[in-house]
Amino acid sequence: MKRIIRRGQLLAPFGIGQMVNFPGDESLMICGPEQWELNFSDIEEHGKFGAFDLSEFMIEDEPRLASLLGVKKFIIPPPFIERGDKNLRLTIPSVRFPQWHYCPRCKILEKIELTRSGFPVCTNAACKKRRMIPLRFVAVCGDGHIQDVPLMEWVHRGSDIENEDHELYYRAGKGAGDLASIHIRCSCGSARSLGGIMGDDALVNTQSCQGHRPWLGPAGMKDSSCGNPLRVLIRGASNVYFPLIKSALYLPSAQNDAEKAATALLAKHGEQIRKFKDSDNDGSLLKIFLETHVKSDILETVFLKICEKMDGPTDGQDQEISEQGLRQQEYDYILRERKAGRDFKSSEIKKEECSDFKYISTTFDQVILVEQLKETRAFAGFSRIFPNDGNLEAKKSLLTNAPPLSWLPANQVYGEGIFLSFNEKLLLLWTELQEVQARALKRSRRYNQAIANRRADHEYRPLDGRFFLIHTLAHLMINRLCYNCGYGSSALRERIFCSSPDDDPSAMNGFLIYTSSGDSEGSLGGLVRQGKPWNLEKILRESVEDSRWCSADPVCMQVGSEDGQGPESVNGAACHNCAVIPETSCEEFNMLLDRAFVTGDGENPDLGFFSWLENKGMLSG
């Protein structure tokens, strides 16, 4: 039976460690990179389906992102094809999880092997091999581990049952359908409903986390000393899995001629180059090969670049670039470079074209239309219960039994966008206002306290009014663009460029709204068209007006100003009726939003950037 997932979905939402529900009541979990390699090696060793060459799926033209994540390269999940010259019938490995399955006829519960290939069937002869159904519940911990619900311990209330034979039965009552109507019965006579099992402390006296990582195969099921409290969740719940996706925009000028040549050669002759490099110690064979492919004046540099790409940093502790540094490179490049190529093309709206449009000319220093862009998105790990808990290295460690990793799954998508850089002089003057600083400090402290309550290793993240303004305005404009020009609600994304207040506040103050959906929505020029001054002025005005009044006001503004709302109550005046967008479009999981920084809260007009500009008479006319 074919189990089909789109290649892009293997990063999110069905990345490594996530359970996928397939037709026929089948639940499979996507395995880790090591299991991918074993699967591909088995295909290559036995020559099952002809020639095998993964070089065509390797991404080696994004060294900045590879350095950030501490890997050598990225691999695009290979497609399943049945005809061609090579790489036929490649599949992504998976395991069966949860292991608890029950028979819909005799109700017996059994634990199925992780690696079982065929559909699980009931072992009761009276059932005539009826297919079993996976349990709807799993148990997770805050460190990303997942295991089957300890039903045996739950039924027997934690008492010792090791020396007795027990069989469990799953019986769903005909009541209201809540957990209390589901009963687990044991052959010894013990029984207990699942009522209350999803409470935060329900399993405290039953079992703690065993550190299971089933996505790593049987080796990942060994008990460890995790010991964290378990939390029972429905396996399809949104908080069972939060993929961590890191991305970078392709910057053509970031590569000189030698690096471009090295990238092209690895893309075209990657397997052959690897064989040359592995067969000798001094690189002489590789240099002989390069003599016939590159100019003599850059041969040595190309050789070094190839060696660097193939033997690049694998220790995540020695990263040469931070995420802030990566954003700074992109920000500077988009502002200054106008090189046109297949993977990047942009044009700047001249200031004289915007002179008649007060909102644009006053608010922004530069408006740049990015007609073509390429984005590399890499899967860097995942979290459970809460989004993106912990540091990057902790996430990556979940993906392997034997760190460090040499590669990560990734994908490349193409699209277009509108880049907006704020008027730094006005923005910094507004940020220094006392009411702006006070509200930003309140929001920042609430956010950092909420994260620190979950993670003891959380590093304080300083935030000022600039970030809240930029982030909220990006959301408002995305909503307005979707409404005005017909994009799907999840087709547009944001990319926030805002430097830390502890660094140089004027270094980055802008955002990019772009589409890179991998389909026609990212290639028809619709978004760039909306970036023309006459269209952009209308969209910006309407976005500001949208900020003034939410259909949930005055409740939205009042609750946001007093107690906060949204995830962890870290948002101000921002809800699903005004500033919230699909989480796949937001870099912050719809946190750190507040309309008050755009147009004020009614009582303090200068609290909002645009209200402050209006009071100064800068937006009249």
> What DSSP string runs through 576-598?
TTTT---GGG-TTTT-S--THHH
Q: 197 with 341, same domain?
A: no
Contact 203, 232 (CB under 8 A): yes
What single-letter DSSP state applies at residue 474?
A: H
Render pLDDT for 99-126 as a digit per residue (tens, 0 to 9): 999 999 999 999 999 988 888 999 888 8
What is the C-alpha separation between 345 and 109, in angstroms, rounded?
59
Contact 371, 525 (CB under 8 A): yes
Q: Which helix (H) or strand (E) holds 4?
A: none
What is the C-alpha separation between 514 and 369, in angstroms, rounded?
10
Phi-psi category of 381—alpha, beta or left, where left has phi over 0 and alpha has psi -120 to 50? left
What is the C-alpha separation between 454 and 233, in angstroms, rounded?
18
Closest CA to 65 of 289, 307, 326, 264: 326
According to DSSP, the residues that pair with 375 across neighbouring strands are 249, 413
Contact 302, 308 (CB under 8 A): no
Contact 149, 139 (CB under 8 A): yes
Closest CA to 256 of 289, 287, 295: 295
Q: 332 with 391, same domain?
A: yes
Tokens of 68: 């950030």
Residue 521: alpha-carbon gap to chain centroid: 21
Q: 128 with 59, same domain?
A: no
Q: 122 with 59, same domain?
A: no
Residue 254: alpha-carbon gap to chain centroid: 25
Mean pLDDT for all residues in the chain: 87
Contact 374, 413 (CB under 8 A): yes
Compute how many other C-beta atoms are within 10 angstroms of the C-beta atom of residue 237.
Answer: 15
Which of residues 167, 201, 234 is at a domain's end?
234
Q: How much is the pLDDT for 315?
A: 42
Q: 392 with 417, same domain?
A: yes
What is the C-alpha separation between 583 and 415, in angstroms, rounded?
19
Q: Token pair 């349990």 is at which residue?
A: 135
Contact 277, 283 (CB under 8 A): yes
For 555, residues 6+ apart whose C-beta sits below 8 A from its C-beta are none
Residue 218: alpha-carbon gap to chain centroid: 26
Closest CA to 345 of 247, 411, 417, 412: 417
Tokens of 23: 């037709």
What is the C-alpha separation between 5 and 14, in angstroms, rounded?
8
Q: Could you list the mean pLDDT of each consecutive 10-residue stretch along the chain, which spans 621 residues?
A: 83 94 93 88 66 80 90 90 80 94 92 89 83 94 93 87 82 78 92 91 88 94 88 94 93 69 80 79 80 78 79 47 90 85 88 92 95 93 83 88 89 93 96 96 94 83 96 97 85 94 90 77 72 95 96 94 90 96 91 96 90 91 60
Q: 73 with 28, same domain?
A: yes
Alpha helices (runs of H) in 492-553, residue ranges in sequence order: 526-530, 533-548
Q: Which DSSP string do the residues of 204-221 spell out, in sequence order?
A: TTT-B-----GGG-GGGG
Q: 224 with 330, same domain?
A: no
Q: 207 with 108, same domain?
A: yes
Q: 459 with 580, same domain?
A: yes
What is the C-alpha separation between 442 and 601, in angstroms, rounded?
15
To the nearest 5 percent, what fractions of the chain are helix, strand and coil?
40, 20, 45
What single-letter DSSP state applies at residue 179?
A: G
For 341, residues 6+ apart whose C-beta sits below 8 A from its C-beta are 252, 372
Q: 401 with 472, same domain?
A: yes
Domain that holds residue 137: 99-234
Q: Token pair 């899995």 is at which residue?
A: 241
What is the C-alpha separation between 526 and 532, in angstroms, rounded?
11
Q: How much is the pLDDT for 316?
A: 38
Which of residues 219, 234, 249 is at a domain's end?
234
> What Å distances lie between residue 465 and 366, 563, 619, CA to CA?
20, 18, 20
Task: Give how many domains the chain has, as a whole number.
Answer: 2
What is the C-alpha separation between 591 and 496, in angstroms, rounded?
13
Phi, psi angles (nearest 5°) of residue 597: -80, -10
> What Å distances lie between residue 62 and 262, 292, 298, CA to CA?
12, 25, 21
Q: Which DSSP string do the residues of 598-615 spell out, in sequence order?
A: HH--SS-GGGSHHHHHHH
Q: 589 with 460, same domain?
A: yes
Render pLDDT for 125-179 as a digit per residue (tens, 0 to 9): 888 778 999 999 999 998 899 999 999 999 998 777 766 788 999 998 776 568 8
Q: 115 with 215, same domain?
A: yes
Q: Which residues of 93-105 are buried (b: 16+ CB within 10 A; e: fewer)?
A: bbbbbbbbbbbee
For 445, residues 6+ apart whose C-beta sits below 8 A from its C-beta are none
Contact 440, 465 (CB under 8 A): yes
What is the C-alpha separation between 235 and 138, in angstroms, rounded?
6
Which of residues 234, 258, 283 is at a domain's end?
234
